[in-house]
Amino acid sequence: MSSIPTSAEAMGAAHEAPALLALHALSVHFAGVPVVDAVSLAVRAGECLGVVGESGAGKSLTFLAALGLAPSAAAVSGRARFGATELIGCTERALDALRGRHIGLVFQDPMGALTPHLRIGAQLTEPILRHTGCSRRAARARALELLEQVRLAAPARCLQQYPHELSGGMRQRVLLAIALSCDPQLLILDEPTTALDVTIQAQILALLAHIKRERRLGLVLVTHDFAALAGLADRVAVMRAGRVIETGSAAQVFHAPRERYTRELLQAAREPAVPGGAPAARGAGAPVLAVEDLTVRYRQRGARRRRGEIVALQAVTVAIAPGESLAVVGESGCGKSTLTRAALRLVGAAHGRIAWLGREVGAWPERRLRALRRDLQLIFQDPLSSLDPRLSVERLVGEPLEIHHGELDAQARATRVAAMLERVGLDPALATRRPHELSGGQCQRVGIARAMILAPRLLVCDEPLSALDVRAQRQIGALLEALRREQGMSVLWVSHDLGAVRRGCERVLVLYQGAMAELAPSEALFSRPLHPYTRALLAAVPVADPDVQPGRLAQVRLTDGEPPPAGGCAFRTRCPQATARCTEQRPPWIEAGAGRWVACHHFERGADGMLRG
Amino acid sequence: MLGYALRRIAGIVPVLLILLTVSFFVIRLAPGGPFAAARALSARTRAELRQRYGLDRPLAVQYAAYLRALAHGDLGRSYSLRDEPVAGLIGAGLPVSAELGAAALALGALSGIALGMAAVLRRGGVIDRALAPLAAVTLALPSFVIGPLLALIVGVWLRWLPVAGWQPDTPRDLVLPAITLALPLIASIARLTRASLLEVLNASYIRTARARGLGRARVLWRHALRPALVPVVSYLGPAATYLVTGSLVVESVFELPGTGRYLVMGAIDRDYTLVMGMVLVYGTLTLLANLGADLLHAWLDPRVRHEAP
Ligand SMILES: Nc1ncnc2c1ncn2[C@@H]1O[C@H](COP(=O)(O)OP(=O)(O)OP(=O)(O)O)[C@@H](O)[C@H]1O
Ligand code: SF4
Ligand SMILES: [Mg+2]
């Protein structure tokens, strides 16, 4: 067939099916600088092409440009064929007849991808009405059916809701439903799981595997994480700095990568983000941070004056010894950040006891806390927005010294700042830049330098890696771990990803809906998790191995039940081991071995439900 | 939404009361007083007049009397305008001023938004390039220059419209004053719309809408316009304040029998009752405009609606 582009042959197509989408020498320039450089790729019906590469590699831009969605400043050249249609240089009207109809797209950033003022129902029926010309009623019925297919828990209610009323995972399902609404032949997904919790990520990936099987459509999956591709991609293309540097079947790229860069990416996806190592010298003395029975309630203001209280944190008791690293893990909304903020006395409405460095500070006024604060530092999830955009890197890092060490003169401060910048691996040339001129990883290093310059006793890291790509994650994880060991400080590490903290932390606290589910030394937790929720979190961690990952995805439940009414175990609607007792009684927090605590009636049973010795 | 609106409207009353109270005392504490300027009056007549209007009583008593009358809808009588009841003056002037203000606001908002959109649709086109100089000119020239200029061109040279004056029920008389008053509004709103629409068009959800193949027009009207209007709506508050001060000038330039002149007159003559009447009118209008802006904002953005206390 003449419509098969040569690039498809060049890729050594195993099956002879014609390419659905074939890019040939596609380039994108911004002001003469190439950011996508002669990319040739092809995807066939029923096949999943994984495109992987670091942030800024040009992955997103490649497909945006092919579909006429690149920013207006971009100069696009080369060819992109969809079936018999040449997409580059084709009119907007002709593209509109394909986009949403034959080609479905889902972009990075589920939080911002839905129009805020339109109900989900309106946004979902829109492409159906436009492309199929069916009646409003039929479109609505179809919308409902689609939401069921993407396993949304309450589809009818969802149609009436606005985007801001949905969680990230729900929005991603809606976007998927919109992309699937007109039965496209090709589905392009750009980082469909990056902003999501591991558990939700696993569900979306499993759902994609299901859709791919059922519908036999062509699938392009763009991601920075090899692990996300493992269960899905049939073929993989690796991009770096605007070029495709390696392509091949999934088995080939995963098991026998040719390029060194590919091996690095694979290794990054296989190792936990926070490296392990000898535990830091354990200092003696009182815990640097201890909370007892810490409870936080937020007043809730519903749409129709449905006033109520949310218990964001429920009776949490935990202590961090000097030099220890503790991970707090759980999915979004489980109270991780509330715990850190309440423990650092940054939210007012906390009940329970809080001790810093052995001193009971729960009732202290802020004025008195100030002097202690420099020993307890915090770094944030979103590096860019946590830094003042008007200040230079130098000023940002030096600012805590100005506040807490007034005795230092400008010269001494500058020396310390320079040393700190070097320590966190920031080029001294960056010192005069402002935050928006830095990459995400560099911003996060500035945040770390700012926290570390006071040599704190405790560093609280609230999801410091989730805004970064895999390689930057590894680098920052390693940096924090090295700093911890050098300085003998304690680290409280907050993450939604159990896999990320696998080796790096000595103990792990698992939170579920504000309450403690399990607390254990990390060795024990990973080798023999006791709480069913911990097991679910572990099962959700994607594995960068195409032989193992499909089996893991097949185990994932595609959706969660609605949260149960109060009383009993909060996890029971999601728990495979739930019994009648779980509905009647709240499981107590009990000691289940040396240093191990768990809140589950049936913790002695394994995942198989059998009683263990 | 309805409950929210009602609560907001009820919230206006105390604000207005504070405004009136402050004005009541401030104008009385200011130097000078009614009849002070009229030198022809003998001391005796002046004292008689002061007694007649109750100005010789202690301030607190005057204030209580004012509130009592206000509760019955009585705004008192003007000292300077031959004993006219202030309510009557307002009744006669307000329709003219309100019509002028509403016409200018509608003109400013509609053509401002349309121009802003046109500038975005044709980036670098005539409208896009004309917007900045147009804004500079209309914002720099005071209305007492723009007004006569327009009157000269349209009224005297082209003879399309009357130059000035006002006959009841002739909307033609309002055209020039409304345009004069609206010009700076048009310019500001056009520039606001342009900037905000450009920003919205870069949003992720606009890309998603385009990826659904909805077509340019639909993406613009249904997905981009409403979020882009949020800053424009927030500008309505300041715009209302501008309309109040602007209409004072425009009314006098075009000799319109609106309420604007009473405010000037009342202030110069220390005609306390008249000033208080004007404070009541313009205060209410400004507060209502701000309320309208908030309600519109809630309509534009469901997140605001759901947060509304
Ligand atoms: N509007 C723009 N103007 C100039 N350069 C741009 C613009 N948009 C993107 N770029 C550049 O193009 C390159 C490729 O961007 P692209 O979004 O395709 O990367 P990506 O591989 O998808 O990265 P990520 O994993 O972060 O999504 C980057 O270097 C980026 O800085
Ligand atoms: S208490 Fe019951 S429902 Fe809760 S986790 Fe244990 S087995 Fe599951
Ligand atoms: Mg991208």
Residue-wise pLDDT tens digits, A525-557: 988 999 999 998 888 888 888 888 888 888 887
Question: Closest Cα to atom 16, ligand 1: which residue?
Answer: A58
A28 falls in which pLDDT band (50, 70, 90)?
very high
Pairing of strands A186-190, A103-106: parallel
Lowest mean pLDDT among A72-86, A90-104, B290-304: B290-304
pLDDT digits (tens, 9 = 90+) for A440-496: 778 888 988 998 898 899 999 888 777 677 777 787 888 888 888 888 889 998 888
Question: Ligand 3 mean position to A63 CA, how many Å?
Answer: 10
pLDDT of B110:
94
- Which has the closest alpha carbon to B275: B266, B264, B283, B284? B266
Chain A hits for B215, Cβ within 8 Å: 93, 96, 130
pLDDT of B198:
92
Q: Is the dihedral of CA A146, A148, A151, A152 positive or negative?
A: positive
- Beta-carbon separation of B211 and A99 below 8 A: yes
State which amino acid sits at residue A138. Answer: A
Q: Does B169 touch chain A (CB under 8 A)?
A: no
Question: Which residues crowd ion ligand 3, with CB under 5 Å?
Answer: A 60
Mutate to test the pocket of ligand 1, among A52, A60, A238 (most ligand atoms within 8 A of CB): A60
- Which has the closest alpha carbon to A266: A233, A232, A221, A228? A228
Question: Ligand 3 mean position to B290 CA, how many Å?
Answer: 42
- Beta-carbon separation of B213 and A131 below 8 A: yes
Q: Mutation test of the interface with chain B: which of A115, A174, A301, choosing the one with the most B Cβ atoms within 10 A?
A: A115
What tokens appear for B192 in the block? Answer: 């606001």
Q: Does B205 touch chain A (CB under 8 A)?
A: yes
Whether ligand 2 lies within 6 angstroms of the CB of A572 is answered as yes
Q: What DSSP character marks residue A588? A: P
CB-closest option in A112, A131, A164 to B303 = A164
A608 falls in which pLDDT band (50, 70, 90)?
low
> Which residues lie below 8 Å from residue A429, measured CB to CB, with a gap of 6+?
none
pLDDT digits (tens, 9 = 90+) for A256-301: 999 999 998 898 888 776 666 555 555 667 899 999 999 998 775 5
Chain A hits for B302, Cβ within 8 Å: 116-117, 162, 164
pTM score above 0.90: no
- Beta-carbon separation of A175 and B208 below 8 A: yes
Mean pLDDT, rounded, for A71-82: 92
Q: Which residue of A has its CA nearest to B224?
A: A115
Q: What average pLDDT does chain A have? A: 85
pLDDT of A609:
56
Question: Closest Cα to atom 4, ligand 2: which residue?
Answer: A569
Q: What average pLDDT does chain B have? A: 84
* Rounded Cα gap, residues A261 and A244, in angstroms: 12
Residue A119 has pLDDT above 90, yes or no: yes
pLDDT of A86:
94
If DSSP codes are grouped into helix, strand and coil, which group holds residue A556? coil
State which amino acid sits at residue A386. Answer: S
Q: Which residue of A has its CA nearest to B207?
A: A69
- Which has the closest alpha carbon to A450: A504, A388, A492? A388
* Rounded Cα gap, residues B150 and A32, in angstroms: 49
- Beta-carbon separation of A162 and B302 below 8 A: yes
Q: Does B227 touch chain A (CB under 8 A)?
A: yes
Question: Ligand 2 mean position to A577 CA, how many Å?
Answer: 6
Chain A hits for B207, Cβ within 8 Å: 64, 69, 107, 113
Number of continuous H segments (helices) and E segments (strands) in chain B: 15, 0
* Rounded Cα gap, residues A491 and A477, in angstroms: 12
* Rounded Cα gap, residues B52 and B201, in angstroms: 65
Phi, psi of A124 (to 5 degrees): -80, -35
| Stretch (H or E) spanning A313 | strand A307-320
Q: Does B214 touch chain A (CB under 8 A)?
A: yes
Question: Ligand 2 mean position to A529 CA, how many Å?
Answer: 13
pLDDT of B139:
81
What does each C-alpha distance from A516 to A531, A557, A564, A588 come to in angstroms?
10, 23, 17, 10
Q: Which residues pair with A590 in a beta bridge?
A: A598
Mean pLDDT, rounded, for A211-224: 90
Q: Does B218 touch chain A (CB under 8 A)?
A: yes
Q: Does B222 touch chain A (CB under 8 A)?
A: yes
Q: Does A220 touch chain B (CB under 8 A)?
A: no
Per-domain residue ranges for chain B?
86-307
Q: Does B122 touch chain A (CB under 8 A)?
A: no
Please report the beta strands in A374-525, taking only residues with DSSP state E, as ranges in sequence order.
376-379, 458-462, 490-495, 507-512, 515-521
Q: Does A127 touch chain B (CB under 8 A)?
A: yes
> 10 Å Cβ neighbour count for A541?
18
> 10 Å Cβ neighbour count for A179?
25
In this predicted complex, what is the ipTM? 0.78
R_g over Cα of chain B = 24
Which residue in the block uniquely carries the two structure tokens 């504490």? B29
pLDDT of B225:
93
- Beta-carbon separation of A107 and B216 below 8 A: no
> Which residues lie below 8 Å from residue A418, measured CB to CB, with a gap of 6+?
A428, A431
- Beta-carbon separation of A113 and B306 below 8 A: no
- Beta-carbon separation of B307 and A301 below 8 A: yes
Mutate to test the pocket of ligand 2, among A512, A557, A597, A600 (most ligand atoms within 8 A of CB): A600
Chain A hits for B220, Cβ within 8 Å: none
Higher local confidence (pLDDT), B40 or B140: B140
Q: Which residues pair with A300 in a beta bridge?
A: A308
Q: Does A171 touch chain B (CB under 8 A)?
A: no
Question: Ligand 2 mean position to B152 CA, how many Å?
Answer: 85
**Cβ pair A253, A238 in contact under 8 A:** yes
What tokens appear for A559 in the block? Answer: 């959706």
Question: Ligand 3 mean position to A271 CA, how many Å?
Answer: 22
* Rounded Cα gap, residues B87 and B66, in angstroms: 14
Q: Is the dihedral of CA B174, B176, B181, B185 positive or negative?
A: positive
* Rounded Cα gap, residues A204 and A201, in angstroms: 5
Residue A3 has pLDDT above 80, yes or no: no
- Beta-carbon separation of A164 and B306 below 8 A: yes
State which amino acid sits at residue A409. Answer: D
> Which residues lie below 8 Å from residue A372, measured CB to CB, with a gap of 6+?
A356, A357, A359, A361
Chain B hits for A117, Cβ within 8 Å: 226-227, 300-302
Instruction: Provide the CATH number for the domain formed by A7-270 in this structure.
Output: 3.40.50.300
* Rounded Cα gap, residues A209 and A189, in angstroms: 13
Nearest atom in ligand 2 to A587's CA: 1
Pairing of strands A235-240, A48-53: parallel
Residue A9 has pLDDT above 70, yes or no: no
Residue A606 has pLDDT above 90, yes or no: no
Question: Ligand 3 mean position to A267 CA, how many Å?
Answer: 21
Per-domain residue ranges for chain A?
7-270
CA A73-B126-B138 angle, 5° bins = 115
pLDDT of B157:
77
Give the CA count within 13 Å in the CB-facing half-sphere of A255: 7
HEC secondary structure over A40-75? EEEEECCCEEEEEECCCCCHHHHHHHHCCCCCCCEE
* Rounded Cα gap, residues A40 and A23, in angstroms: 5
Chain A hits for B214, Cβ within 8 Å: 96, 100, 126-127, 130
Instruction: Provide the CATH number for the domain formed by B86-307 in this structure.
Output: 1.10.3720.10
Give the CA count within 13 Å in the CB-facing half-sphere of A292: 8
Lowest mean pLDDT among A53-57, A89-93, A426-430, B34-38: B34-38
Q: Distance of alpha carbon A269 from its chain centroid, rounded?
A: 13
What does each C-alpha distance from A252 to A155, A547, B214 come to in angstroms?
41, 12, 40
Percent helix, strand, coil in chain A (nearest 5)? 35, 25, 40
CB-closest option in A99, A112, A116 to B302 = A116
Give the minimum alpha-carbon distance from B204 to chain A in angstroms, rounded to a whole number.
Answer: 5
- Beta-carbon separation of A130 and B215 below 8 A: yes
R_g over Cα of chain A = 26
Whether ligand 1 lies within 6 angstroms of the CB of A58 is answered as yes
pLDDT of B168:
61
CA A578-A581-A582 angle, 5° bins = 45
Nearest atom in ligand 2 to A605's CA: 7
* Rounded Cα gap, residues B258 and B145, in angstroms: 20
Mutate to test the pocket of ligand 1, among A27, A61, A76, A384 (most ligand atoms within 8 A of CB): A61
Whether ligand 1 lies within 6 angstroms of the CB of A71 is answered as yes
A2 falls in which pLDDT band (50, 70, 90)?
very low
Question: Closest Cα to atom 12, ligand 1: which residue?
Answer: A35
